[in-house]
Amino acid sequence: MINVIILGPPGAGKGTQARLIQEKFGYVQISTGDLIRQEIASGSELGKHLQPIVNAGGYLDDKIMLELLENKLKTVRTGAILDGLPRTENQANALYEMLKNNHQQVDLVIELKVDKDILAKRIAGRFSCANCGAIYNEYFNPLASEGKCDHCQGTEFTRRKDDALEVVYKRLDIYYEKTQPLLSYYEKNGQLSQVDGMQSVDDVASQIEVLIKKYLKKPQVCVN
Ligand SMILES: [Zn+2]
Q: What is the mean pLDDT of each run of 10 residues along the chain (224 residues)?
A: 93 92 95 89 91 81 90 94 89 94 95 93 93 95 95 95 86 89 93 94 96 88 56
SS3 113: strand
Integer Cα distance of 60 and 57 in angstroms: 10
Active site residue 87: yes
Out of 24, 37, 72, 87, the active site residue is 87
Active site residue 77: no
Average pLDDT, the chain: 91
Integer Cα distance of 6 and 198 in angstroms: 15
Please tell me the distance between residue 19's alpha carbon and the centre of ligand 1 in angstroms.
29
Please tell me the distance between residue 96's alpha carbon and the centre of ligand 1 in angstroms.
50
Helices and strands in the chain, H and E counts:
8, 8
Please tell me the distance between residue 46's alpha carbon and the centre of ligand 1 in angstroms.
46
pLDDT at 62: 85
pLDDT at 220: 65
Q: Which residue segments constitute the domains of the chain, with CATH numbers given?
A: 2-115+179-216 (3.40.50.300)
Active site residue 19: no
Buried b (16+ CB within 10 A) or exposed e, 76-99: eeebbbbbbbbbebeebebbbeeb
Please tell me the distance between residue 163's alpha carbon and the centre of ligand 1 in angstroms.
21
Q: How distant, in Å, are the alpha carbons of 6, 47, 84, 88, 201 from that of 195?
A: 10, 36, 17, 20, 11
Parallel, antiparallel, or unpaired: how do β-strands 79-83 and 2-7 relate? parallel
Integer Cα distance of 150 and 141 in angstroms: 11
Active site residue 14: yes
pLDDT at 222: 58
pLDDT at 7: 94
Integer Cα distance of 77 and 133 in angstroms: 40
Please tell me the distance between residue 176's alpha carbon and the centre of ligand 1 in angstroms.
36
How many beta carbons lie within 10 A of that of residue 12, not counting itself? 23
